[in-house]
Amino acid sequence: MYATPGLNQISTRFSRDIASGDPVRRAQAVGRIAGGTTITVAAIVAAATGTITGSGPKDPEERAYLMKSGWQPYSFKIGNTYISYRKMDPFATFFGIAADLHEAYANADDQNKSAIEVTLKGLVTAAANNIANKTYLTGIVSLSNAISDAERHGANWLEQFVGSFVPSLLAQSKDIIGEDPVMRDVQTLSDAIRNRIPGLADGVAPRRDILGEPLRRGRILGAVPFAWPFSYNTATSDPIAKELAQLGAGFTPPRAMRNDVDLRSFVNRRGQSAYDRWQELTGTVTISGRTLRDAMERIIDSPEYQRMDPTAPDGYESPRVGVLRNLISRFRDAAFRETMLEFPDLMDAERSRRATVAGAASGKPFAELLQYSRGR
Over range 34-40, report the average pLDDT.
Answer: 79
Over range 334-339, report the average pLDDT.
Answer: 95
CB 200 within 8 A of CB 186: no
Instruction: Report the pLDDT value the prediction gives residue 195, as an integer from 0 to 100.
Output: 67
More confident residue, 181 or 74: 74
Instruction: Report the pLDDT value the prediction gives residue 7, as an integer from 0 to 100.
Output: 60
% pLDDT > 70, the chain: 68
Over range 219-228, report the average pLDDT.
Answer: 46
Q: How many domains does the chain have?
A: 3
> Looking at 88-92, 241-245, 303-307, which range is the least confident one?
88-92
Residue 165 has pLDDT above 50, yes or no: no
Instruction: Report the pLDDT value the prediction gives residue 120, as an integer from 0 to 100.
Output: 76
Q: Are residues 131 and 200 in the same domain?
A: no
Q: Are residues 30 and 170 in the same domain?
A: yes
Over range 52-77, report the average pLDDT.
Answer: 81
Q: Are residues 337 and 322 in the same domain?
A: yes
Residue 196 has pLDDT above 60, yes or no: yes
Instruction: Report the pLDDT value the prediction gives residue 122, as an integer from 0 to 100.
Output: 74
- For residue 89, what are the domain limits? 5-177+219-230
pLDDT digits (tens, 9 = 90+) for 89-138: 666 777 888 888 888 888 777 777 877 777 777 777 776 666 555 455 55
Task: For residue 301, name the pLDDT band (cuts at 50, 70, 90).
Answer: very high
Residue 164 has pLDDT above 60, yes or no: no
Q: Are residues 293 and 205 in the same domain?
A: no
pLDDT, the chain, mean = 76
Q: Are residues 29 and 144 in the same domain?
A: yes
Instruction: Report the pLDDT value the prediction gives residue 82, as an integer from 0 to 100.
Output: 83
Instruction: Report the pLDDT value the prediction gives residue 129, as an integer from 0 to 100.
Output: 67
Instruction: Report the pLDDT value the prediction gives residue 5, as an integer from 0 to 100.
Output: 57
- HSE value, Cβ hemisphere, 13 Å, CA-based, for 334: 18
Over range 47-76, report the average pLDDT.
Answer: 82
Q: Are residues 158 and 280 in the same domain?
A: no
- pTM metric for this prediction: 0.56
Q: Are residues 20 and 136 in the same domain?
A: yes
Over range 268-273, report the average pLDDT.
Answer: 90
Task: For residue 175, name the pLDDT band (cuts at 50, 70, 90).
Answer: very low
More confident residue, 127 or 184: 184
Q: Are residues 73 and 140 in the same domain?
A: yes
Task: For residue 22, name the pLDDT band (cuts at 50, 70, 90).
Answer: confident
Instruction: Report the pLDDT value the prediction gives residue 236, as an integer from 0 to 100.
Output: 67
Instruction: Report the pLDDT value the prediction gives residue 160, as an integer from 0 to 100.
Output: 56
Q: Are residues 206 and 268 in the same domain?
A: no
Instruction: Report the pLDDT value the prediction gives residue 150, as an integer from 0 to 100.
Output: 59
Instruction: Report the pLDDT value the prediction gives residue 136, as an integer from 0 to 100.
Output: 56
Q: Are residues 185 and 258 in the same domain?
A: no
> Looking at 39-43, 140-144, 283-287, which range is the least confident one?
140-144
Over range 3-19, report the average pLDDT.
Answer: 69
Instruction: Report the pLDDT value the prediction gives residue 305, as an integer from 0 to 100.
Output: 95
Q: Are residues 108 and 191 in the same domain?
A: no
Instruction: Report the pLDDT value the prediction gives residue 332, as an integer from 0 to 100.
Output: 95
Over range 1-27, report the average pLDDT.
Answer: 71
Over range 323-347, report the average pLDDT.
Answer: 94
Q: Are residues 187 and 164 in the same domain?
A: no
Residue 171 has pLDDT above 80, yes or no: no
